Amino acid sequence: MKIRVGTRGSKLALVQTGWVVSELEKVNPDIEFETVIIKTTGDKIINVSLDKIGDKGLFVKEIEMRLIDGEIDMAVHSMKDMPAKPVPGLKFTKVPKREDPRDVLVLREGLNGLSDLPEGAVIGTGSKRRKYQLLKVRPDLNIVPIRGNIDTRISKIETENLDGIVLAASGIIRVGMEDYITEYLSEDIIVPAPAQGALAIEIREDDNHMEDIINTIYDEKTQIQVDAERSYLSEIDGSCHIPMGAYCKIDGENIHLTGLFGDESGEKITVKSIEDRCENAQEAGKKLAQMILKEHNNE
């Protein structure tokens, strides 16, 4: 039996898919997997800021169409790029183990971290979540938009004369460029994007056979975190035009969930946390979103 796995063609997408396939092969030695690379609209538009073209779904729509058509049997994505609501006819399986959820600073030679950045330093990021949280601790920074794959962005430090950029630790670690990381930013300083570092495996809704196979690599802790953070995302109902983040810490039987929400201009950012039992992860995400929206809109 052969399973076709759809993926984008970027280096990160390919290593993520390769990792999932190799984990699946370890526990399903009789199954053959074939990787199918699919070019998406998001990959074709490279000159426009993501903020302007918006729509998170841009990178996944073509892949989802092939899945519905039956040309592929499963698809691997970065969970943080997936819209809160699944596409009709498709679903996400339980999730495999997450990579480091934090954001990192990659700085030019000679700079050792956030506290070491000179006054007015130029930092590249296209994410409002990263921008406004950085400005909260360092209002003097000059944040400039930047796009592209991980290696493209890193190369822009030199070609565009930046002092540094912000990236997800998970991406840079997965593509083997960990050595470029200057500083890990704690979740207390920069709340990560919901499900950052986690992978989404998407299948046809009625494909129980695929679901059984993917359940063989499921990670319970990651699932609790993703349930809490994505439930927050879903209830906030935001776009990528607003600063928004969520991170769930697990301590034994309990979760500690932090959520962030702001307006488009970043003038007002609300951050709150909630504690609950692991089994209430989804409820907690929803409750936290409601608390934050209420506080944000009342103040």
Ligand X SMILES: NCc1[nH]cc(CCC(=O)O)c1CC(=O)O
Please identify every residue annotated as catalytic. 81
CB closer to ligand X, 80 vs 230: 80
Question: In whole angstroms, what is the distance from residue 163 CA to residue 175 CA?
Answer: 22
x/- site string to ligand X, residues 12 to 41, per CB under 6 A?
------------------------------
Of 196, 231, 270, 280, the residue at the interface with ligand X (CB under 6 A) is 196
CB closer to ligand X, 78 vs 280: 78
Q: How far is the CB of 197 from ligand X (least distance, A)?
A: 5
Is residue 82 close enough to count as binding ligand X by CB under 6 A? no
CB closer to ligand X, 154 vs 269: 154
Chain position whose Cβ is nearest to ligand X: 171
Question: In whole angstroms, what is the distance from residue 226 CA to residue 282 CA?
Answer: 9
Longest Cα–Cα distance in the chain: 60
Exposure b/e, 28-67, CB count within 10 A at least 16 = b: beeeebeeeebebebbeeeeeebeeeeeeebbbebbbebb
Check: CB of residue 224 under 8 Å from CB of residue 278. Answer: yes
Of 7, 10, 170, 223, the residue at the interface with ligand X (CB under 6 A) is 170
Is residue 171 close enough to count as binding ligand X by CB under 6 A? yes
3-state secondary structure of 282: helix
Binding residues among 129-158 for ligand X as defined by CB under 6 A: none
How many residues touch ligand X (CB under 6 A)? 9
CB closer to ligand X, 17 vs 78: 78
Contacting residues for 18 by C-beta, under 8 A, at least 6 apart: 35
Stretch that binds ligand X, among 139-147, 163-171, 229-237, 290-298 (CB under 6 A): 163-171
On the CB side of 72, CA atoms within 13 Å amount to: 24
* Helices (runs of H) and strands (runs of E) counted in the chain: 10, 13
Is residue 42 close enough to count as binding ligand X by CB under 6 A? no
Q: How far is the CB of 243 from ligand X (least distance, A)?
A: 14
Q: How far is the CB of 199 from ligand X (least distance, A)?
A: 7
Of 6, 42, 194, 197, the residue at the interface with ligand X (CB under 6 A) is 197
Query: Quick one: three-class SS letters along 108-147?
Result: CCCCCCHHHCCCCCEEECCCHHHHHHHHHHCCCCEEECCC
Question: In whole angstroms, what is the distance from residue 68 CA to residue 92 CA?
Answer: 13
Is residue 128 close enough to count as binding ligand X by CB under 6 A? no
Burial of 111 (0-12, 13-18, 19+ CB in 10 A): middle
Of 8, 80, 128, 131, the residue at the interface with ligand X (CB under 6 A) is 80
* Interacting residues with ligand X (CB under 6 A): 78, 80-81, 167-168, 170-171, 196-197
